Structure 1
Amino acid sequence: IYNACQFPVWPAWIPNAGVAQIAPGGAKLQPYESIHLLAPWGWSGRFWGRTDCSSSIAAINSCNTANNHTMNTMIDCETGDRNGELGCSSPGLPPATLVEFTPLRDPHALLDHYDVSLVDGYNLPVRVIPSSSSCKSAGCSASAADLLARCPPELAIRRSGGDAGVIACKSPCLAFKEDRYCCTGEYGSARKCRPSPYSRCFKRSCPDAYSYAFDSLDSGFACPSGAEYTIVFCPRSYGHGSSEGSRSW
């Protein structure tokens, strides 16, 4: 996971049901800093980035040992936060750009399916870059400033306090809670739930990402299992900054 943004990002990740967590479940990355994670064969789960976080040390019940009272790093983030912990097992609150990995079996091989999703809204441009040149990248290439500037005003979440800048963009489903945007109720099929002006706006910003629940199948990608992947926040700056260090788990 590489932070090519010019500001810190707090990546987090959780496994799907029945899949083991990759410790520690979250980290802080300074600009141009990276971490390396080793996922077991067939791992599935999601990643996202949290922004504008402040941290403190507090005595809490640890996520992984619910009955143990322990000291832990608490964070309070403007976007992508939920339980206030640096690494835990709860998904972040939307809107946040999601990276999703799921193993797939075809008749001949085990594949990794991966995608970047704006279905619940977004907060950062993210790109998934496979190590194999035969596999395609997924996600966004816009800068963070450009991506947030394209958010329709009625979907925009603005920074608390004096600075009214846009920090995240809600999905129309999250903003309006209507079946036609959420692809639920009578709109719960690909035939009935069609792209909206909002999802088209998302798609123009991130052509290689899912913009709504029934977006085209070519918004997701597959690569033979065993490949390595780089998840890049603010990919437009990827390769233009000097590396500030790396950690591994």
Structure 2
Amino acid sequence: MVRVLLIIPPLLFFSQVICFSSAAIFTLKNNCPYTIWPVTLSTSNSSSSIAGFSELPSNSTASLPARPEWSGRVWARTGCLLSTSQTTCTTGESPPFTIAEFNLNQPTDSYDVTLVQGYNVGIGVSASGDGCKYAGCTVDLNMRCPAELRVVGPDGETTVACKTPCEALGGDEYCCTGTHSTPETCKKTRYSELFKTACPNAYTYLYDDESNTFSCGDGADYLVTFCPSASSP
């Protein structure tokens, strides 16, 4: 799946999400002990559109439909402050953040969870139907984030997100650019190995193992859980 740098515009509210017939249903569940502000980015039909929720409190769910050919991404913002003119969030308005990716525009659906843009909250994806496997990162990587990759919150102490080594340190080796711009030359690093050990069912760098993309029969519904429990599949 395509992985791009995303800069998030001001919040668009859930009321702007349009309902469709014959749609796959996405249920978003907030298992975090705090409120989050989910975002969806549609990349269907060679165009992009962003829709968000005003908020999703802890231990609550929200459902939204998607066209059968929908493709796009889902992630969470945290620590958001809303005003009449703008929204500011501690994480999720720009990388680093954890992303769930979906492509329903295939004979079979495909989906994955990626840390290629960094990490802010854990995400798990469960799909209905036989043979649909679990994708995600159930470990709190903020607790394991190396000091040089940490994003510290407003209190000046708490780690609220974990940058990629490309964002934090730069260089061709970490950014898969220049002499490291191909699958043959862009290899895993000690950082991606650390993240892969913690989250084996998620992408950890640009050319990570393609087996981290999972497939499911056409017509599946999806449960996207933020801060999934460590006992999740």
Q: 1:179 aligns with which of 152, 172, 197?
A: 172
Partners of 1:19 and 1:44 within 8 A in 2: no
For 1:117, the equivalent position in structure 2 comes to: 114
TM-score normalized by structure 1?
0.77
**Aligned partners of 2:50 and 2:44: how far apart in 1?**
16
For 1:80, the equivalent position in structure 2 comes to: 92
Post-superposition CA distance 1:183-204 (Å, at most 9, x none): 1121111111110000011111
Post-superposition CA distance 1:141-176 (Å, at most 9, x none): 22xxx421110110000012x341100000011112
For 2:102, the equivalent position in structure 1 comes to: 101
Aligned pair in 2 of structure 1 residues 23, 185: CA closer, same or farther (>3 Å)? closer
Post-superposition CA distance 1:14-66 (Å, at most 9, x none): 111536778843341001111111000110011110011111223xxxxxxxx
Q: 2:65 aligns with which of 38, 54, 64?
A: 38
For 1:147, the equivalent position in structure 2 comes to: 141
**Aligned partners of 1:196 and 1:181: how far apart in 2?**
8
Question: Aligned AA for 1:218?
Answer: S
Post-superposition CA distance 1:78-101 (Å, at most 9, x none): 0011xxxxxxxxxxx100001111
For 1:166, the equivalent position in structure 2 comes to: 159
1:209 lines up with 2:210 in the alignment: no
Question: Aligned AA for 2:113?
Answer: V
**Aligned partners of 2:212 and 2:128: how far apart in 1?**
19
Secondary structure of residue in 2 paired with 1:79: coil
**Aligned partners of 1:179 and 1:21: how far apart in 2?**
29
TM-score normalized by structure 2?
0.82
What fraction of aligned residue pairs are identical, expressed as a percent?
39
Structure 1 alignment gaps of length 5 or more = 59-73, 82-92, 240-249
Structure 2 alignment gaps of length 5 or more = 1-27
For 1:90, the equivalent position in structure 2 comes to: none
Partners of 2:149 and 2:164 within 8 A in 1: yes
Cα RMSD (Å) = 2.0
Partners of 2:68 and 2:105 within 8 A in 1: no
Question: Paired residues, what number?
Answer: 205
Aligned pair in 2 of structure 1 residues 174, 23: CA closer, same or farther (>3 Å)? closer
For 1:137, the equivalent position in structure 2 comes to: 134
